[in-house]
Chain A
């Protein structure tokens, strides 16, 4: 059974928005869960963050990067499979002052979902930070997390729109001033999540981040997504995908997603040559 794509739009020069019919996933989705996508009957299984789920549909932000995403962007109007929800949701409870931060495609989707879930809990003050490189790359207003949080900060690294700087620096300023932040949830570029963890450790702020890894079955069978937390092997698919940034072995977490880069380049090149993407 294939899944109909009901809406596609550009988010910026690199990313696009997809809305797809996936009743089973939509019905059970909670912030923190992800989905496994297969674009066609010969497709690979790709983990993807979910921005929101409603009316039997889920919305995702996808980067036009590899073969599958390019093909989805250009030529496909259905997905072969949209599986899940997989992984663990975040603990949806009262934390107090919650920061939700992101600087990259999947992270922005998670940002929206987490803000929406946590701002619905009484007693939370949810602060969202969304960092983009420059004004031209900021996503359309309708998908920004400002609607689902209590305090919103749009930031650009060059200062061309919103506040200037990366969320890590802006948060550090606030912590330096002695402001109380009870927990930080963050997603996006892995090296920045490592840096965020290093920064918040000094201030002793619990920091929970999405450690995005390559997955195959995403049900605990293959071990491709193994990450090391406090020296112990965990699987991002069934133990994560979010972990304590202060405990992640970042060296291997940053390296493992590159294991197949050589092959991925070949696939994308061939796909472009044959006009499929």
Chain B
């Protein structure tokens, strides 16, 4: 066997430049780089990468096509299983999925599957290659409604359209895209990519109704009357707070608020754009997942002098994507591990001046399979910061649920579905974070697609 070549590195924006802008950090592969990386793939007879992919993208053949310079074929093949490869190539936790299962992982040099997927999709976008959508023509098409325009809803709407439905999507905000727009920063997922996908969806005939909140300015009962089937992709958009003393102080944000201001409302362009954001000199982000990394790196780009991640475990146990953690480290984010906030302390004027933390040690494994952090008594001390961003995960949004009391949920508000993703209401389906409480973009895309098929079968009476 020939000696294995190392991974083709991805060119990136230099650290000293990128911490002052919101442009994409990775530049992505060019054609030569993509081919060279694809040629490293040994084309396993049993591609474990594919089984490890939540939507089972035909990765082996995709890579083969790229190696053969058949980029269009690679893209179209990916699209068969993944509605938005340009997005998932950038935001999937590949090290836990395809790349983690790559046979070459043992050498420490698995194939850069995410970057190849992103390359194929970017190449198609730049070359005007689109998936051909044939909407079956029927004299009286059936109607489907999709509530929420995040990843699950988008994938569901795209497929419903392909089945020939008249699809209307309802979005509360003035911009479609859900978490892809309001949550994930441009430096990780450029918004022109999301908007390209939204345009394609509208071109295919899906109607997107912005500023429509189901339960608020259009009734859930009205939807049930008007549409043959409904998909709920209402996400898990509500912030979680720690519930500790001092959260009432000014200078305390949920990561949701901080990122919505920065991403959706473009606070980095203030005052040309109207929405302000206050970022102090010393920012502390509580939590260590992807959202925490996004918030920390956004704070840095908005001018904070020192940004810390405050985490009660060790970073080895963080759920963040490896690439984001690496980028955050390179950018100078400080990692304060094994400390847990107990209180936020403020100035006389009601502004944050620090967070009191207690040291933690790691105990036995908990339900998440990670060592349980245990407070070490008497180690309380104050970390001086003037802005707190709480990135502790999110919960399903109460607004819609309160207006649909007949919909069965669990105690946390997670919508309960059967094996076909149908909710307790016949003809009403759900997917994405609304049924998981918070997972990944790729899972949401997969569920959106699966629900579209189930809705089609339901309407056809199968």
How far is it, in angstroms, between the C-alpha of A238 and the C-alpha of B397 when the chains are bound?
Answer: 10
Chain B 168-197, CB within 8 Å of chain A: the 1/0 string? Answer: 000011100000001000000000000000
> Chain B nearest CB: distance from A216 CB in Å?
5
Q: Does B239 contact A (CB under 8 A)?
A: yes
The answer to whether A83 touches B174 (Cβ under 8 A) is yes
Q: Indicate if B70 sits at the interface (CB-CB under 8 A).
A: no
Q: How far is the CB of A80 from chain B (nearest CB, A)?
A: 8
Contact of B217 among A24, A220, A224, A271 (CB under 8 A): A24
Query: Do the beta carbons of B213 and A219 come within 8 Å of each other?
Result: yes
Taking CB atoms, residues of chain A closer than 8 Å to B217 are 24-25, 28, 84-85
CB-CB contacts below 8 Å: B121-137 with A: none
Closest Cβ neighbor of B398 among chain A residues: A220
B149 within 8 A of A: no
A83 nearest in chain B by CB position: B211
A255 to chain B, nearest CB (A): 5
B260 near A228 with CB under 8 A, answer: no
B16 CB within 8 Å of chain A: no
Pick from A221, A228, A259, A267: contact of B274, CB under 8 Å: A267
Among the 9-residue stretches A7-15, A36-44, A94-102, A127-135, the one with 4 or more Cβ atoms under 8 Å from chain B is A36-44
CA distance A226 to B241 in the complex (A): 11
- Which residues of chain A come closer than 8 Å to B211, judged between CB atoms? 24, 81, 83
A223 contacts partner chain B, Cβ-Cβ < 8 Å: yes
Check if B274 sits within 8 Å of A67, measured CB to CB.
yes
Partner of B397, one of A83, A221, A233: A221
Decide yes or no whether B216 CB sits under 8 A from chain A.
yes
- Whether, in the assembled complex, B460 has its beta carbon less than 8 Å from a beta carbon of chain A, the answer is no
* A86 close to chain B: CB less than 8 A: yes
Measured CB to CB, the closest approach of chain B to A217, in angstroms, equals 6
Q: Are B216 and A86 in contact (CB under 8 A)?
A: yes
| Residues on the B chain within 8 Å of A224, using CB | 253, 257
Chain A residues with CB under 8 Å of B271's CB are 67, 263, 266-267, 270-271
B423 at the interface (CB under 8 A from A): no
Shortest distance between the CB of A83 and any CB in chain B (Å): 5
User: When the two chains form their complex, are residues A42 and B272 in contact, meaning their CB atoms are under 8 A apart?
Assistant: yes
Check: B276 CB closer than 8 A to any chain A CB. yes
Give, as a whole number of angstroms, the nearest-CB distance from A82 to chain B: 8
Cross-chain contact of A42 among B251, B274, B278 (Cβ < 8 A): B274
- Closest B residue to A258 using CB positions: B250
Contact B275 A217 (CB under 8 A): no
Structural contact, A217 and B172, CB atoms closer than 8 A: yes
Task: Collect the chain A residues with CB atoms within 8 Å of residue B274's CB.
Answer: 39-40, 42-44, 67-68, 267
Chain A residues near B261: list those with CB within 8 A.
216, 222
Q: Which applies to chain A's interface (DSSP): helix, strand, loop or mixed?
A: mixed
- How many chain A residues touch B (CB < 8 A): the figure is 45
> In whole angstroms, what is the CA distance A253 to B238 when docked?
20
Separation of A37 and B164 alpha carbons in the complex (Å): 36
Judge if B14 is at the interface, Cβ distance under 8 Å. Answer: no
Q: How far is the CB of A91 from chain B (nearest CB, A)?
A: 15
CB pair A259–B278 under 8 Å, yes or no, is yes
A222/B276 contact (C-beta < 8 A), A83-B211, A249-B248 known: no
Residues of A within 8 A of B398 (CB): 220, 238
CB distance from B285 to the nearest CB of A (A): 15
Chain B residues with Cβ under 8 A from A84's Cβ?
216-217
Whether A222 pairs with B248 at a CB distance below 8 angstroms is no
Contact A220 B265 (CB under 8 A): no
Q: Is B6 an interface residue (CB 8 A)?
A: no
**Chain B residue nearest to A249 in the complex (CB):** B248
**Most-contacted residue by chain A among B254, B274, B276, B399 (CB, 10 A):** B274
Compute how far the CA of A84 lies from the CA of B173 in the bound complex, rounded to whole angstroms.
11
C-alpha gap A24/B172 in the complex (Å)? 13
State which of A24, A40, A221 has its C-beta within 8 Å of the C-beta of B256: A221
**Nearest CB of chain B from residue A243's CB, rounded to whole Å:** 15
* Complex CA distance for A267 and B270, rounded to whole angstroms: 8
**CB-based contact B273/A216 at 8 Å:** no
B319 is an interface residue with CB less than 8 A from chain A = no
Provide a sorted-by-A list of 8 A–B residue pairs whose CB atoms are within 8 angstroms: A42-B269, A42-B272, A85-B216, A219-B173, A219-B399, A221-B260, A228-B248, A263-B277
A-B complex: 6 closest residue pairs judged by Cβ atoms: A263-B276, A252-B248, A222-B257, A44-B274, A223-B254, A44-B275
Known pairs A223-B254, A259-B250 / 20 extra A-B pairs, C-beta < 8 Å: A28-B217, A42-B273, A42-B274, A68-B274, A81-B211, A83-B174, A219-B173, A220-B238, A220-B397, A222-B254, A222-B257, A222-B261, A223-B257, A226-B241, A233-B247, A255-B250, A256-B250, A258-B250, A260-B278, A263-B270
